[in-house]
């Protein structure tokens, strides 16, 4: 089997990633992120991300080559994320990759970002290999999808995606409403564990009944909605709960004993955070297992930055085990956006002797 030496470039969101693999061996995975520049906006600002990619891409390519001890001449192929993602951000990576391809004569492969999130497991140090067919649950700040992967190169089907916010985006926006730091995922998890109010008492995930988007019986019967997600209602509900809790505090006379303390009936921050987390995790887990049921597939792979969520991993593991389904979560630094995932899929395509994409391909912001 050929073991092509491939450099992969990823710029679909706020990470500038460059990775190099030899076949299924990961040589280096260098990632720069512009996350700090987005903090004060509470989310990724496309224009800011593009500008950061322009600055980072050259140095990151040089760093990756140096780290791997590889010269451009040694490479067998180049790969770059062609979409989905932010158009302006994608264009920076594509332009850099095309420039490299033109100057070196190396074949260049345009890569589907979602497939790359799955393919990355091929180069994980503890990789069991890819069990296909598999259901993939991809959850990050930029996307939320359930995919059926029959073959990592030739048979990828999008079963459903979010119709509004991504799961990570819901965490980020709700954290902001709760006055918590960006990125919101880790903040909400810490709040849910009772670590942010000084109590150390974990919140009750059943304290507030937040909506489970697109999960009614009617939704689940509708093929258009069965595997779709909606998190925007959850955000609105969280806002309503926070406002009500604040009103309960301020309604108390300021000279009364316990003034400034939440009233007994009002949910604590930990309760709101735990309940919110539970609502997101519930739908993600439920629909992933439904996809297994519908397709008869016995393997699940979890990817994207939200894979860092401990509650999601625990609940998914529990439900998979009960259903006799294996669950694979690549190491977390390979779950978040990176260049190694692009190189991994590029190497797989090159190893199969497929024709390169040429220099004329465009970037695709949307999924289809």
Binding site for ligand KG4 (CB under 6 A): 13-14, 140-142, 168-169, 171-172, 183-186, 189, 304-306, 308-309, 336-337
Cβ pair 301, 120 in contact under 8 A = no
Cβ pair 246, 315 in contact under 8 A = no
CB of 140 to Zn ion, least distance (A): 5
Q: DSSP per residue over 190-223, as a string? A: HHHTT-SSS--PPP-TTSS----TT-SHHHHHST
Closest to ligand KG4 by CB, 84 vs 168, is 168
How remote is the C-alpha of 107 from its chain's centroid?
28
CB under 8 A, 24+ apart: contacts of 69-76: 70/5, 70/7, 70/20, 70/27, 72/100, 72/104, 72/106, 73/104, 74/5, 75/5, 75/6, 75/7, 75/20, 75/104, 75/106, 76/4, 76/5, 76/6, 76/106, 76/107, 76/350
Take residue 2 and report the two structure tokens written for it.
Answer: 């050929």
CB of 143 to Zn ion, least distance (A): 6
Q: How many residues does the chain have?
A: 368
Closest to ligand KG4 by CB, 181 vs 219, is 181
Ligand-binding annotation for 346, yes or no, is: no
Kindly list the distances between the CA atom of residue 18 and the CA atoms of 66, 78, 244, in Å, as whole numbers in the listed order: 12, 11, 46
CB of 183 to ligand KG4, least distance (A): 4
Ligand-binding annotation for 117, yes or no, is: yes
- Our finding on whether 144 is near Zn ion (CB under 5 A) is no
Ligand-binding annotation for 309, yes or no, is: yes
184 binds, among ligand KG4, Zn ion, none (CB under 5 to 8 A by kind): ligand KG4
Ligand-binding annotation for 141, yes or no, is: yes
Segment near Zn ion (CB under 5 A); pick from 121-129, 203-211, 215-223, 337-345? 337-345
308 binds, among ligand KG4, Zn ion, none (CB under 5 to 8 A by kind): ligand KG4
Closest to Zn ion by CB, 84 vs 194, is 84
The side-by-side arrangement of strands in the sheet containing 134-139 is 155-161, 144-151, 134-139, 299-303, 326-328
Site string for Zn ion, 288-307 (x = CB under 5 A): --------------------
- Our finding on whether 337 is near Zn ion (CB under 5 A) is yes
Closest to Zn ion by CB, 18 vs 238, is 18
- Our finding on whether 140 is near Zn ion (CB under 5 A) is yes
Closest to ligand KG4 by CB, 131 vs 190, is 190
- Least Cα distance to 343 among 138, 115, 98 occurs for 115
CB of 260 to ligand KG4, least distance (A): 30
Ligand-binding annotation for 172, yes or no, is: yes
- Least Cα distance to 21 among 103, 111, 94 occurs for 111
Closest to ligand KG4 by CB, 189 vs 228, is 189
Q: Which residues are annotated as a binding site for Fe cation?
A: 113, 117, 337
Q: Give the binding site for Zn ion (CB under 5 A).
A: 140, 337
């Amino acid at each position: 089997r050929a073991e092509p030496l491939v450099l992969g470039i990823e710029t679909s969101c706020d990470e500038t990633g460059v990775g190099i693999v030899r076949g299924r061996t990961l040589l280096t995975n260098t990632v720069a992120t512009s996350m700090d520049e987005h903090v004060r906006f509470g989310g990724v600002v496309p224009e800011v991300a593009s500008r950061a990619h322009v600055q980072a891409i050259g140095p990151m390519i040089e760093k990756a080559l140096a780290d791997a001890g590889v010269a451009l001449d040694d490479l067998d192929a180049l790969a770059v994320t062609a979409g989905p993602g932010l158009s302006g951000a994608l264009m920076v990576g594509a332009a850099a990759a095309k420039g490299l391809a033109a100057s070196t004569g190396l074949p260049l492969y345009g890569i589907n970002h979602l497939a790359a999130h799955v393919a990355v497991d091929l180069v994980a140090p503890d990789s069991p290999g890819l069990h296909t067919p598999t259901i993939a649950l991809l959850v990050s700040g930029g996307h939320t999808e359930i995919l059926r992967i029959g073959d990592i190169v030739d048979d990828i089907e999008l079963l459903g995606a979010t119709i509004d916010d991504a799961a990570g985006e819901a965490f980020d926006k709700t954290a902001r409403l709760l006055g918590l730091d960006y990125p919101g995922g880790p903040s909400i998890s810490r709040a849910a564990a009772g670590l942010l109010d000084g109590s150390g008492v974990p919140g009750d995930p059943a304290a507030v009944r937040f909506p489970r988007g697109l999960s009614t019986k009617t939704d689940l019967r509708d093929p258009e909605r069965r595997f779709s997600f909606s998190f925007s209602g959850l955000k609105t509900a969280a806002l309503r709960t926070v406002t009500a809790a604040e009103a309960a505090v301020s309604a108390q006379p300021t000279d009364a004993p316990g003034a400034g303390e939440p009233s007994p009936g009002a949910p604590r921050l930990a309760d709101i955070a735990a309940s919110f987390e539970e609502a997101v995790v519930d739908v993600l887990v439920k629909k992933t297992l439904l996809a297994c049921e519908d397709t008869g597939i016995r393997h699940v792979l979890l990817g994207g930055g939200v894979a860092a969520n401990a509650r999601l991993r625990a609940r998914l593991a529990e439900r998979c085990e009960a259903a006799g389904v294996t669950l694979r979560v690549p190491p977390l630094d390979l779950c978040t956006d990176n260049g190694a995932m692009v190189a991994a899929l590029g190497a797989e395509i090159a190893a199969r002797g497929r024709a390169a994409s040429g220099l004329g391909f465009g970037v695709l912001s949307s999924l289809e």
